[in-house]
Structure 1
């Protein structure tokens, strides 16, 4: 079964990304189309890019880069759970992406964005050109969560039926595209 890696982009203490990612992981497991792995950038804790060689060369010298490379390389598809910070995506996400190059190629990616009134839409739109440059395929189907704090009770995210439906649609499309892109990897 293909592996779907859910990346939690926020590293802030008290972030909503943890509860949202746990909910999405449960939805993805119930979907049944993927083996699920969660990559929490707060736990991975990559320093600001500190490899000597360009990522295109894959001449990694540092253990944290080698471990991150193995995680991304083993993944067949991704879902990025991201907040919106000042109309953009979090710096730890950009840093984690920039550590690697070839490992991302020809893999589909879905976006779960959250925030206030806009639900993180600007963050999701801002990251797409970066993903496309890496030859990733962002799916059109996405999960947008406005007023995320209203959906979290006692550390658990409570989705509306519309949010649940959007997650299923995104997972269906990720599954379809993963199979289509597999020969390119």
Structure 2
């Protein structure tokens, strides 16, 4: 099988990715935030908050699992390392004319992958704004690739995963039927320490199998799209 690359997106989503064919994990980490300390201050001072322990543990669990596979190459993408502003491109992503350096850098990163494992928490029945913003910045770079979801929350993050399915449909990204839902009440000790059940580990293996298979199957469409540019 050809070498494949996938990505893990953290802290909303953790995504393992593999190389040509490459997959990504969209984890979602909140971007750097700013605040004013006084009315006469003319500068914002960034402050970095440590990520929630659940995010790091879920992303780490997924990454440890994918690192044992030999059918694809995976990388971890932490959105804290790609601090995108609120969508600020003058044209919609579907036009592909990215004006800002941060968007072009993000596009280059995502274009190099063939599939994604998105790790996400659930916030108010949806995924995080940070992950949604990262998805909305691009269009063609997501197309004809496979995506799977590992979610966590009180209800396992299932509603966040459903939101991501709708988004992936609009981006022409194939969403896998298998998903992993980790409940804070049953798979985290004291709501903070991840203790994944055996059925969750099995579900993750199945999800990864699907992502590798679909990313491989979609390769001719990706190649045709690149040739048409």
Separation in structure 2 between the aligned mates of residue 7 and residue 86 of structure 1, nearest angstrom: 20
- Is residue 2:29 matched to residue 1:11? yes
- Is residue 2:199 matched to residue 1:162? yes
Separation in structure 2 between the aligned mates of residue 51 and residue 140 of structure 1, nearest angstrom: 33
SS of 1:30's equivalent in the other structure is coil
- Give the C-alpha shift of residue 160 in structure 1: 2.0
Contact 1:73 1:103 survives alignment (8 Å): yes
Unaligned stretches of 5+ in structure 1?
Answer: none
RMSD over aligned CA atoms reads 1.5
TM-score normalised per structure 2: 0.75
Contact 2:146 2:215 survives alignment (8 Å): yes
Separation in structure 2 between the aligned mates of residue 110 and residue 77 of structure 1, nearest angstrom: 8
Q: 1:83 aligns to what?
A: 121
TM-score normalised per structure 1: 0.92
Separation in structure 2 between the aligned mates of residue 75 and residue 159 of structure 1, nearest angstrom: 27
Quick one: which of 160, 163, 169 aligns to 1:126? 163
Separation in structure 2 between the aligned mates of residue 59 and residue 52 of structure 1, nearest angstrom: 9
- Give the C-alpha shift of residue 36 in structure 1: 1.0
- Is residue 2:85 matched to residue 1:47? yes
Runs of 4+ in 1 over 4 A off after TM superposition: none
Larger gyration radius, structure 1 or structure 2: 2
| Residues 1-185 of structure 1: pairs in structure 2 closer than 5 A | 1-8=3-10, 9=12, 10-12=28-30, 13-15=50-52, 16-116=54-154, 118-147=155-184, 149-150=188-189, 152-153=192-193, 157-185=194-222
Separation in structure 1 between the aligned mates of residue 169 and residue 96 of structure 2, nearest angstrom: 20
- Give the C-alpha shift of residue 55 in structure 1: 1.1
Q: Say which structure is richer in helix.
A: 1
